[in-house]
């Protein structure tokens, strides 16, 4: 895990409205001097970075298939909407990390899907393609938070690795809030594997019906 020793700062802060009806005020922030040249952005609701001591934060990894197209293979789009709707009410910050496919990129994720259709699970598909289970490095999330002056937060996630990474990089996680579980026609095996092998905190029940 790389540390967030490099000092980043806010480059641009642009207001707009977001959400399914484009009626939720937010600001998009870009940054200078992140560890990589990936164009990670933050979405800030109700000026939570300057107005709240312990804002609600979601570190959301890019998922073109789920976030944009509502793919049935994962739960990313639903988690993103949940975060937007919660933060419209109480304020908060979404760090939208350009880490498509847990860091392997979109084309490789599509290759992994092809293997999954043949019965390989979500992590083993990565391994068969020559990648580790998860290539994401969350130190840049800590850099972005520090640039915004946020040193403690409530984290909206089921993934304890995100909490550990923030804490290793000097950000205090005061609370871990789970997201909803979004069962769809063909994501049950994906969710089960995230819980068993990825150690995500997901409460899955056998009779859970697709939404």
Ligand X SMILES: Nc1nc2c(ncn2[C@@H]2O[C@H](COP(=O)(O)OP(=O)(O)OP(=O)(O)O)[C@@H](O)[C@H]2O)c(=O)[nH]1
Q: Assess whether 136 carries a catalytic annotation.
A: yes
126: partner contacted, choices Zn ion, ligand X, none (Cβ within 5-8 A by kind) = ligand X
Residue 74 binding ligand X, by CB under 6 A: yes
Span near ligand X by CB under 6 A; candidates 21-29, 46-54, 87-95, 151-159: 151-159
Subset of 58-97 contacting Zn ion (CB under 5 A): 63, 66, 74, 76
Which residue out of 98, 134, 137, 183 is catalytically annotated? 134
Q: Which stretch binds ligand X (CB under 6 A): 7-15, 40-48, 59-67, 141-149?
A: 59-67
CA dist., res. 116 & res. 123, Å (int): 9
- Vertex 92: Cα angle to 87 and 96 (nearest 5): 95
CB of 157 within 8 A of CB of 58?
A: yes
Point out which span in 3-11, 24-32, 71-79, 82-90 binds ligand X (CB under 6 A): 71-79
Is 175 annotated in a binding site? The answer is no
Phi, then psi, of 32 in degrees rounded to 5? -105, 160
Closer residue to Zn ion, CB minimum distance, 55 or 101 = 101
Q: Give dist(CA 107, CA 118) in Å, integer.
A: 17
Write phi, then psi, for 13 (nearest 5 degrees). -135, 110
Q: Give the residue from 169, 163, 167 showing the smallest Cα distance to 5.
A: 169
Rounded Cα–Cα distance for residues 93 and 153 (Å): 10
Please check if 167 is assigned to a binding site.
Answer: no
Report the Cα–Cα distance between both ends of the chain, in Å, rounded: 37
Active site residues: 134, 136
Annotated binding site for Zn(2+): 63, 74, 76
Question: Which residues sit at the interface with ligand X, rule CB under 6 A?
Answer: 61-63, 74, 76, 79, 99-102, 104, 109, 112, 116, 122, 126, 157-159, 162, 179, 194, 198, 200
């Amino acid at each position: 895990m790389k540390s967030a020793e490099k000092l980043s700062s806010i480059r641009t802060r642009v207001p707009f409205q977001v959400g399914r009806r484009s009626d939720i005020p937010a600001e998009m922030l870009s940054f200078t001097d992140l560890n990589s040249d990936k164009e990670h952005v933050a979405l800030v609701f109700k000026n939570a970075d300057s107005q709240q001591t312990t804002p609600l934060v979601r570190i959301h990894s890019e998922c073109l298939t789920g976030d944009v197209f509502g793919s049935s293979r994962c739960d990313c789009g639903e988690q993103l909407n949940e975060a937007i709707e919660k933060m419209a009410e109480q304020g908060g910050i979404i760090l939208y990390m350009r880490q498509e496919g847990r860091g392997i990129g979109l084309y490789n994720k599509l290759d992994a899907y092809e293997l999954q259709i043949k019965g390989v699970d979500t992590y083993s598909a990565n391994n068969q393609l020559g990648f580790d289970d998860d290539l994401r490095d969350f130190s840049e999330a800590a850099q972005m938070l520090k640039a915004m002056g946020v040193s403690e937060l409530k984290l909206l996630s089921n993934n304890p690795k995100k909490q550990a990474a923030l804490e290793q990089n000097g950000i205090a996680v005061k609370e871990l809030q789970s997201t909803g579980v979004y069962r769809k026609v063909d994501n049950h095996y994906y969710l089960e594997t995230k819980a068993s092998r990825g150690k995500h905190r997901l409460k899955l029940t056998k009779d859970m019906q697709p939404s």
